[in-house]
Amino acid sequence: MKYYLGIDIGGMSVKAGIITDDGKMVAKKTVETSAKGRTDDFIADMAKLAEEVTAEAGLCKSQISGVGMGVPGTVNTDTGVVTYACNIGFRNTPLAERFKELFGVSPKLANDADAAALGEVKFGAGNNANDALMITLGTGVGTGIIINGKIFSGRHGMGGESGHTVIVVDGELCGCGRRGCFEAYASATALIRQTEKAAEKYPDSEIAAIIARDGKVSGTTAFRAYKAGDAAGKEVVENYVKYIGEGTANLVNIFRPEIILVGGGVSNEGEYFIEMIENYVNANTYGRELNSEITVRKAALGNDAGIFGAAALCM
Amino acid sequence: MKYYLGIDIGGMSVKAGIITDDGKMVAKKTVETSAKGRTDDFIADMAKLAEEVTAEAGLCKSQISGVGMGVPGTVNTDTGVVTYACNIGFRNTPLAERFKELFGVSPKLANDADAAALGEVKFGAGNNANDALMITLGTGVGTGIIINGKIFSGRHGMGGESGHTVIVVDGELCGCGRRGCFEAYASATALIRQTEKAAEKYPDSEIAAIIARDGKVSGTTAFRAYKAGDAAGKEVVENYVKYIGEGTANLVNIFRPEIILVGGGVSNEGEYFIEMIENYVNANTYGRELNSEITVRKAALGNDAGIFGAAALCM
C-alpha cells in the first residue's frame, strides 16, 4: 500500500488528506488560513498541517510516496511557482521550493479546479476515464481538462481557462474584464442574474412570486418555478441549460472526452438537470452522427475532490 | 540524411513530396483525384504516386524512413481509419492498412489542416515552436493545435474542431448545422457576407462603389475600402478582426501557445492585417498582465504546408 498526501488550498481554509493508491482517505485535517497575505507564515502553516495529518494517519514522513497541492490561482506546473493567487495573496511565490525547505518533500502543484477534476475522474464519478472534462458551476465556471489521465492546463500550466472563452461576442461583462465569457452565462452568479431579469420581465410569474415570498433570489429560484410549471421558470432554466450546453459542446468539439462531470452548487439540482445538459450537448456537438454519445454525470466527491486530486498528482 | 514521404490528399488532387529531416523538399508530384468515390482505385492511385515521387527523388522504397498523410476529413489517428471524408467519398475506410498492402509501408494519418499546421510550425513560420496554433481563414476556418511539438486533435483524433466552437450563441447558421460558430464569423465566406450586408446598409459607401465597379463581392472588397479610408470598410474590417480575435483568444486561454500562425487566402491581405489580429488577441486574453505577449504571424509555406506536415508526422 502506498500513501499520498493531498493538500487543497482554499481562500478560507487549507485541507489536507492522506490517500491510498486505491483511493481511500485514511486521514483528513483542515486549518483556517489566518495567514493570508503573509506568505511565509502561510506556507509554515501548511507544512505543520502536513506533519499533523501524516501523524494522524499513523505514518512517518518517509512513508509518504508523494505530495500534491491544489492552488486557487495560476500555477507554473513546471517550476512549482504560484504565478498569481489573489485569494491567498501569492504572486510569483516559489511554493514548491519553500514547502520543501520545511517538510522535506517537493510537492507537485496544480490549479485547484484542475486538481478537483483529476480527483473526480480518478476516484469519483469519472470511472478513471482517460479523457474527461469537469465543469464546476459555482460563483464562476471552473473547468478541468483531463487528457490521457493527466491534467491539461496549457503551456507551463498557464492555459486551461475554458471558463473564460467567449460564447457571446459583446455579451455580458465577465469578472475577467472581457465580455461574453462562458462563466458570465453559466455560473450560479449568472443564473441568479438571469432569474432576476425574468422576474422583472414577468412580474406575474411564479419566479416573481417565489422571490417575493423568499425575500431574495437564489440559485434554486428558477428551478423551483420550472418544476411548478411556470413559463418564466421554463424560459430561464432552458436558456441556462443552453448556455452551459454551448460552452460544454465547444469543449467537446476540441477535446472529445469520454465523460463530462458537472460539479459546484448548481449541480445539486438533481438528475433531471444533468440530463438536460447531456441532451443539449449530444444534440449540438460536431459530427454527432459519427461519434459515440457523451456521458454527462454529476460529480461525486464534493469538497473532497481537491484533496483526492492533489494526491493523485503524484500517482 | 533521412527521407520522409508526405502525402496531402485534397478534394481535387493528391500531392506527394519527399522531405529531408532538415526540411528540404527534394521531389514533388501531383495527380488529379479522378477516382473520387471509388475508394480502392483512389488508394491505388495514391500508392502509384508514392512510387513515382520516390523514384523522382532517386530513392528506393527502403530509403524512405516514414510515410505520412493528411486527409481532408475525420481520421482515427490510433487505428489509421478515415472515419469520414466527404470530399473524397471515404467512410470508415481503413486507409493505412490498404495503402500498406500496396506500398509496403504503413502511413501515419492526420487531418489535413492538422498536418498543415504541423508543417508550418516545424518548417515554416512557426520557428519549430513546441506549442502553437494555426488558424486557416478560407472557405471555412481550420484550426491546427500543436502541443509539445505534436498535433493535438482530441481523443482518437476526433476533436480539434475549434472552427466549430460557438462565439455567438444563436448567431449565424454554420455549415455544421449549429449556430454562431467561429467559422460562421471568421471565414472568408463570412467576410464576404459581412461585406455584402455593409454595402446594403451603406449604399453610399466605398464598399458599395467597389462592388458596383467589380460587379461582385470578394474577400478583398472590404479591405480595399478600409485602405481607401471608407467608414463602412473600417466597420467591416474591424468587426471581422474582432471575430477572428475572439475565437483566437478563446483558444489562447485554453492552450496558451507561444505562437499563432494565420493561413488561408485572407492571410495574404498583408502585414497590417496580421498585426490587427495580434493586437486584438493580446488585448483580450485571460491574465494578459501576467503572461508574455502572443506572437501572431502569417503562415509561410502556402499549399506545400500539408506535404511538409504529413512527412513530419513520422519524424
Q: Which residues of A touch B (CB under 8 A)?
A: 74, 83-84, 130-131, 145, 154-156, 158-162, 164-169, 176, 178, 180, 185, 242-243, 246, 249-250, 252-258, 284, 286-287, 290-291
Chain A residues touching B130 at Cβ < 8 A: 155
Size of interface A-B (CB pairs under 8 A): 113
A254, B286: Cβ pair inside 8 Å? no
Read off the pLDDT of each residue in A251-275 and give the average, rounded to a whole number. Answer: 96
Probe site for chain A from B131, B246, B284 (most A CB atoms < 10 A):
B246
B161, A290: Cβ pair inside 8 Å? no
Asked if residue A164 lies in contact with residue A176, where contact means CB atoms within 8 angstroms, the answer is yes
pLDDT at A33 over 80: no
Dist CA B126 CA B143 (whole Å): 14
A254, B254: Cβ pair inside 8 Å? yes
Least CA distance to A249: which residue of chain B?
B165
Of A130, A158, A246, the CB nearest to B256: A158
CA-nearest of A285, A231, A304 to A24 is A304
Can you give the pLDDT at residue B75? Answer: 92
pLDDT at A192 over 80: yes
Read off the pLDDT of each residue in B155-178 and give the average, rounded to a whole number. Answer: 93
A256, B159: Cβ pair inside 8 Å? yes
Chain B residues touching A156 at Cβ < 8 A: 256
Read off the pLDDT of each residue in A160-165 and give the average, rounded to a whole number. Answer: 94
Q: pLDDT-based confidence at B36, cuts 50/70/90?
A: low
SS3 A139: coil
Of B161, B258, B284, the CB nearest to A178: B284
The identity of residue A217, as a single letter, is V
Read off the pLDDT of each residue in B8-36 and give the average, rounded to a whole number. Answer: 90
Can you give the pLDDT at residue B40? Answer: 92
Dist CA B279 CA B141 (whole Å): 20
Can you give the pLDDT at residue B125? Answer: 97
Dist CA A53 CA A46 (whole Å): 11
Least CA distance to A287: which residue of chain B?
B176
Q: pLDDT-based confidence at A88, cuts 50/70/90?
A: confident
Strand partners, A117: none
Least CA distance to B256: which residue of chain A?
A159
pLDDT at A64 over 90: yes
Dist CA B30 CA B50 (whole Å): 10
Read off the pLDDT of each residue in B152-179 and give the average, rounded to a whole number. Answer: 94
Out of A63-77, A190-204, B35-49, pick the least confident: B35-49
Read off the pLDDT of each residue in A273-292 and give the average, rounded to a whole number. Answer: 92
| Chain segment A108-133, per-residue pLDDT in tens | 999 998 999 999 999 999 989 999 99
Least CA distance to B258: which residue of chain A?
A155
Can you give the pLDDT at residue B157? Answer: 86
Q: pLDDT-based confidence at B11, cuts 50/70/90?
A: confident
Can you give the pLDDT at residue A289? Answer: 79
Chain B residues touching A130 at Cβ < 8 A: 155
Dist CA A63 CA A145 (whole Å): 30
Of A130, A246, A286, the CB nearest to B161: A286
pLDDT at B186 over 90: yes
| Chain segment B235-262, per-residue pLDDT in tens | 999 999 999 999 999 999 999 999 999 9
Cell match 422571490: residue?
A211
Task: Please count the other Cβ atoms lying within 10 Å of the Cβ belonging to residue B173.
Answer: 11
Say whether pTM exceeds 0.90.
Answer: yes
Q: Which residues of B touch A (CB under 8 A)?
A: 74, 83-84, 130-131, 145, 154-156, 158-162, 164-169, 176, 178, 180, 185, 242-243, 246, 249-250, 252-258, 284, 286-287, 290-291
Read off the pLDDT of each residue in A152-175 and give the average, rounded to a whole number. Answer: 94
Can you give the pLDDT at residue B35? Answer: 66
pLDDT at A146 over 70: yes
* Residue A196, Cβ density class (10 Å: 0-12 exposed, 13-18 middle, ≥19 buried): middle
Percent of chain B topping pLDDT 90? 86
Percent of chain B topping pLDDT 70? 99
Can you give the pLDDT at residue B89? Answer: 86
Task: Please count the other Cβ atoms lying within 10 Å of the Cβ belonging to residue B212.
Answer: 10
CA-nearest of A63, A82, A66, A62 to A74 is A82
Mean pLDDT of chain A: 95
| Chain segment A89-103, per-residue pLDDT in tens | 899 999 999 999 999
DSSP state of A250: H
Read off the pLDDT of each residue in B172-191 and give the average, rounded to a whole number. Answer: 96
Read off the pLDDT of each residue in B196-217 and give the average, rounded to a whole number. Answer: 98
